[in-house]
Every structure is written in structure tokens, then in C-alpha cells.
Amino acid sequence: MCHVVIGTSGHIDHGKSALVRALTSHDPDRLKEEKERGITIDLGFSWLELPDGTKSGIVDVPGHERFISNMLAGAGSVDLALLAVAADEGVMPQTIEHIGILHLLGIRHGVIALTRCDLADDELKILAEEDVRAHTRGTFLEDAPIVQTSSVTGEGIEALRETLFEVIRRVRASYISRVHLPFRLPVDRVFTMEGFGTVVTGTVTEGTLHTGDKIALYPGEKPLRVRTIEVHDQQVEKAEAGQRAALNLPGIQKNKLSRGTILAESGSIFASDKLDVTLHAMRGAHFLIKNNLRVHVFLHTESALGRIVLLNRDRLEAGEQAPAQIRLETPLHARYGDHFIVRFYSPVETIGGG
């Protein structure tokens, strides 16, 4: 079975969480401050029921530039992007940055929702669609379907749901199975439940995990056992690559885990302070990538500071790519083929990845 994770993206207040609520009847915003302020601050989670009875996980990410690090923690495990663009505003700065990030992360499939159509006349909707097409040209979203929607009136929600079903079918048809690889789950949330103890959540990026399996916590390779597994609020016996999962872990305190720690098959991943990469400079980036530039590096839910060493030039212009080595100040746990994002040290802004 091929499992697909959907990730929202788009500028703040362009209706990402409202879309998820309209599509699923679940509220992805879980923090009190999010509900009070009406904006997404941290990652939210839900799922979409599919016609064949299976479910696709949804990761709802924040749109504000201050919370891009939270967005990156969720975007690294996404298979299909759902880009929200408000019809009454069009493409905005975080729309552009999110498109660039998703493109650098190697995401190949997407759907564009033109949101808040109840606030725009026909001419404004046409202008917004043209704006979207101009800014997605040359990216994986260039030919993505655009669906006009309103979470207030319900306009287009069923059409969007059907469009997602069709794209998910295409994703599955072109999917390269990761189930046979060693298990790995980058942790994105940790909490405790009365009567159960420590629970972590994340997306299974590779492999299969069964109840009772012995795994390891990284960094440190601390041995752990999986007591129970939940997928989409249902207790199950196993979780596979592409599924959102909650794991109950006995014998470890909540403060020993955090976003950025990794659960994996023992001995299957290793920490390194050097990453050999093909570095792509993001189109439209405001800062040049120069040799020995200090940057923030994001890899799944992990992050670290490091310096970029360009191997065949002294500078990398926006839109160019080159072999490089990233020399990290704190080791990260990478596997061959992992995608990453680099952001300028200060002011913090996305400048590349690969």
C-alpha cells in the first residue's frame, strides 16, 4: 500500500487551516494561542478520507515568516503540496518562499486552491490565477490544477476534494516504495498522556514499524520499545512509510525527546558534521551564496548551524547549482538522498537547498 502525505503551504491568513477544516471536518489548530489569534503557529495534523477507504495524512503548516522553521519541520515529509492563495490578495511573500522551499525539497505533485473566493469578483479571481501561474512557472506547480474555493460558502470544496483524490492516484502510480528500507521517524511532537506516558508523533519516512518492535532514539542510539501505535486516531499493529503515526514509548521521560530527535532502526543512521550535497540556490533569493557562508541547515525535523564550502567556485547565483560540502557546527543524521534547506544566518531567509 502506498501512503501519501499532503502538506499545506501559503502565506499567512490565506486560509490553509480553514481549507483543512472544510475538507476533513477536523480542526488542525491545536494550541490555545492559535485559536485565540486565528493563525497557525505550529504544525497541525489531520487526515483526508479517500474513496478506497484509506486515509492520507495532512500536515498543516504556519504561513507567517516568523514560523518558517516550524513549516520546514513539517514540509520535509510531504508527498503532495496543497498551496493556498487568497483570491482577494494573490501571491504574497510567504507564498513565494513556500513554493521555493517545496521545489527545493523535491516535491513533484501539487494542487493549488484559490481561497477566499467569496471576497473576490470574477476579474480579481482571473488576476489571482494569472499571478499564481507567473510565480509557479518552472516549478513542480507549473501545471498544477487550480480550484476556486471558499471555506465560508463551501464553494469548490467538493471539487478540491475530487482533485486531490485524482492527484493522489497519480502520486501512487509513480510512487517508489520506501517500505523495504530501515525504519525512520523524525519526531515533530512530544507529549504525555495520563495512563500511557510518553507519546511522540511524526511521519514514517521509510520502513515499517510493528507494535513491540525495538528501535533506537537518536542522537545517542538509546534503545526503546514501542508499546502501541496509532495512525489517524486508531490503534494499529503497524505503521508504514508515508503514514503519520503516534508512538507510545515506555521507559523514557518526555524531556529526553524533542522535535529534531529521530526514532530509527538501531544502527541504521549515523551522525555527521559534514554533508556532501548538490546545492541549489533558490530563485529570487535576496542573498548570494558565497564560499564559507554561515547558514542555518534544516533536515527533516533537525536543524543546525553550518558553513557552506563551494567545491568548484567562489559564489553561487540565484537559480544556479553546484557541488558543495556543508560543515556543521552540530552533527545531523542524514541518509543518502535526503533533501535539505539552507537559510541565511541573519536576517533568516531561505536561500537554497537540495
Give the per-residue pLDDT at 25: 85
159-203 confidence digits (pLDDT tens) = 999 999 999 999 987 777 788 899 999 999 899 887 788 999 999
Give the per-residue pLDDT at 65: 59
Length of the chain: 354
The answer on pLDDT for 31 being more than 60 is no
Domain ranges of the chain: 5-173, 184-264, 271-353
The answer on pLDDT for 37 being more than 90 is no
Mean pLDDT in the chain?
Answer: 90
| CATH topology (fold) of 184-264 | Elongation Factor Tu (Ef-tu); domain 3 (2.40.30)
pLDDT band at 41 (very low <50, low <70, confident <90, very high): very low
Give the per-residue pLDDT at 40: 46
Q: What is the mean pLDDT of residues 81-94?
A: 94
315-342 confidence digits (pLDDT tens) = 999 999 999 999 999 999 999 999 999 9
Q: Which residue has the higher pLDDT, 60 or 240?
A: 240
Alpha helices of the chain — where are they, by DSSP H?
Answer: 16-24, 32-37, 68-75, 93-104, 122-136, 157-173
Cα of 283 vs its chain's centroid, Å: 20
Report the C-alpha gap between 271 and 105 in whole angstroms: 21
Q: What is the mean pLDDT of residues 254-268?
A: 94
**Model pTM?**
0.90
CATH of domain 271-353: 2.40.30.10
Q: What one-character-per-residue DSSP string does 234-291 give?
A: EEESEEETT-EEEEEETT--GGG--BTBEEE-TTS--EEEEEEEEEEEPTT-SS-EET
5-173 matches 271-353 in fold: no
Report the C-alpha gap between 280 and 246 in whole angstroms: 34
The answer on pLDDT for 29 being more than 60 is no
Which CATH superfamily does the domain covering 5-173 fall into?
P-loop containing nucleotide triphosphate hydrolases (3.40.50.300)
**Amino acid making up residue 67:** F
Q: What percent of the chain has pLDDT over 90?
A: 75
